[in-house]
Structure 1
Amino acid sequence: MGYGPHRYFWKALWKLDTLPKIRVFTWRVGHEILPTNSKIATIRQGFDKGCQRCGAESETVLHVLKDCPTSRVVLSIGGWSKSFISKSYDHCIDWLEDLMRVLDKRAMVDLMTTLWNCWNSRNNYIFRGKKEEAQLIWERARNLNKEFRICNMLEEPLLSYIIAEKKWKKPPKDFIKINFDAAVGENRIGYGTIIRDEEGFVLGGGGGFKELRVSVEEAECMAFKESINVACRLQLKEHVLFETDHVGLVNRINNLDKDVTLIGARIKECKAAFNFFKSA
């Protein structure tokens, strides 16, 4: 793999900041092992290798992702220039490698997510008879990329900082530790919690997204509440330690008697639920 004519493609592939399934999809595209009609026709005698969507004579990987009219419209909606789409190639990997030479990592991730959705749309048409509009395909890809970046905080901060190495620390004997966190986007928040025992064994967890515009502290408070709800649903009535890396929320909890804000009221509601546990 590392010494072939496309070694730069394979090396760059695993550096893409995207979902593992999209990396695997890109790997399959590079090897041209997606089950297109043209590929199936090489192992099944008499199988029609044509494209069922547009009637092209041969449905190759390159055709499905780049040359099929539906895919071309999707790429155009996504803002990809005609020069990227119209140039002829013999193999899909040649096309992608050319793009890697001019696109940055984020743009390449956007492209591969779009192509992954084009492939899924093709499958929906063939196996379910479901025809999807190009605009819908592109919007689905855009939303998937946006959700991934919110979860993983890929956008670099204005001021860089040195990241200290963090390790999970065991709670005292007979305690469980509940870690919670939140990430804030422009009009959306993501939150999550994970519960472990004193040996680090995962007892449960949860998380999700909400379409809201809130401050970081408000989002952390919502994650705090969700962590309590998860523990209650799992009937974990042991001694509990809650942990967050948000200093502002910790300070509010430690000075709750003087806090008359709305966030303070929400934290008090959360602390009232501590009665469910032996101690918290």
Structure 2
Amino acid sequence: MCPRCGQEEETIMHVIKRCPPACEVWKMECWGDKWKRADLDSEKGWLSSMWEAEDRSNMEMGLTVCWVLWNNRNEEIRINPGRTTDEVMAYARSYLEEYLATQKRSDTQTTHENIKWRSAEAGYANANFDGEHKMEESVDGAGAIERDAAGKVLRACSCRIAQVNDPSVAEALAMNKAIIFSRQLGLQSVIVEGDSLEVLN
């Protein structure tokens, strides 16, 4: 029996898909209906279906979220507070970006300056955004993370953008997502940050 929800036997699929904390993650707007299909009730069937239906970027993010959900379960079993839904998404996105950046550095034998998150001034919140364009795959994506002055994640999401194929537009849509988050959270004083000067200006 699952020690967290007590609703059913704690299988792998229960932890990464059906347990209430996992359900809340897959209900987020950035995931399509395919990730929520109830008729696929095995790891192999579910992930194989996603592999056929999703592009590589979304599949990588989905698999990373599965790993974070399992890790989150282990943390809670050790009597540590687990991550919230938004924190799961933010951690998964950050982890995947760091991993992909490391692979890219290894392939090109180049070094990049790591951009660290910096806390906002007292009374302000941070709205960080990032757009991504993969020319070789004709895929665009956008992500946004909202944090308070203490660094606590208030909301986060990443999603695929269809029929854009332009890095500047991807960045602009990501910034728009960050601004929408701020409004939905009722924040009045927000510092919007991103790595696209063209969009910020």
Q: TM-score, normalised on structure 2?
A: 0.51
- Contact between 1:66 and 1:72, CA under 8 Å: does it hold in 2? yes
Alpha-carbon shift at residue 125 of structure 1 (Å): 0.6
Q: Which letter maps to 2:116? A: E
2:111 is aligned with 1:182: yes
2:11 is aligned with 1:57: no
Distance in 2 of aligned mates of 1:103 and 1:145? 17
Distance in 1 of aligned mates of 2:61 and 2:29? 9
Distance in 2 of aligned mates of 1:89 and 1:210? 39
Alpha-carbon shift at residue 77 of structure 1 (Å): 3.0
**Gaps in structure 1 of 5+ consecutive residues:** 1-49, 155-162, 167-179, 184-188, 190-208, 213-280
2:59 is aligned with 1:104: no
Alpha-carbon shift at residue 117 of structure 1 (Å): 0.3
Distance in 1 of aligned mates of 2:34 and 2:47? 13
In the TM superposition, what are the counterparts of 1:129-208 in structure 2 within 5 Å? 129-153=80-104, 181-183=110-112, 189=113
Q: What is residue 185 of structure 2 aligned with on the other side?
A: none
Deviation per residue, 1:224-257 (Å, 9 max, x gap)? xxxxxxxxxxxxxxxxxxxxxxxxxxxxxxxxxx
Alpha-carbon shift at residue 78 of structure 1 (Å): 6.7
- Structure number with higher relative contact order (C-alpha < 8 Å, ≥ 6 residues apart): 2
| Greater gyration radius | 1
* CA 1:152–1:129: 2 relative to 1, 3 Å: closer
Alpha-carbon shift at residue 94 of structure 1 (Å): 0.6
Distance in 2 of aligned mates of 1:149 and 1:83? 25
* CA 1:82–1:55: 2 relative to 1, 3 Å: farther
Distance in 2 of aligned mates of 1:211 and 1:124? 25
- Contact between 2:2 and 2:9, CA under 8 Å: does it hold in 1? yes
Q: Which letter maps to 2:81? A: K
- Contact between 2:34 and 2:50, CA under 8 Å: does it hold in 1? no
Aligned partner (choices 105, 116, 126) of residue 211 of structure 1: 116
* CA 1:138–1:78: 2 relative to 1, 3 Å: farther
Q: What is residue 114 of structure 1 aligned with on the other side?
A: 65
Alpha-carbon shift at residue 103 of structure 1 (Å): 1.0
- Contact between 1:51 and 1:57, CA under 8 Å: does it hold in 2? yes
- Contact between 1:77 and 1:138, CA under 8 Å: does it hold in 2? no
Alpha-carbon shift at residue 129 of structure 1 (Å): 3.7
Q: Over the residues paired in the alignment, what is the CA RMSD in angstroms? A: 2.6
Q: Which letter maps to 1:182? A: T
Q: Deviating runs (4+, > 6 A) in structure 1?
A: none
Q: What is residue 17 of structure 2 aligned with on the other side?
A: 66
Q: What is residue 43 of structure 2 aligned with on the other side?
A: 92
Q: What is residue 128 of structure 1 aligned with on the other side?
A: 79
- Contact between 2:64 and 2:92, CA under 8 Å: does it hold in 1? yes
Distance in 1 of aligned mates of 2:96 and 2:18? 23
SS of equivalent to 1:132: coil
Alpha-carbon shift at residue 110 of structure 1 (Å): 0.8
- Contact between 2:51 and 2:59, CA under 8 Å: does it hold in 1? yes
* CA 1:149–1:77: 2 relative to 1, 3 Å: same
Q: TM-score, normalised on structure 1?
A: 0.37
Distance in 2 of aligned mates of 1:51 and 1:82? 25
**Gaps in structure 2 of 5+ consecutive residues:** 118-201
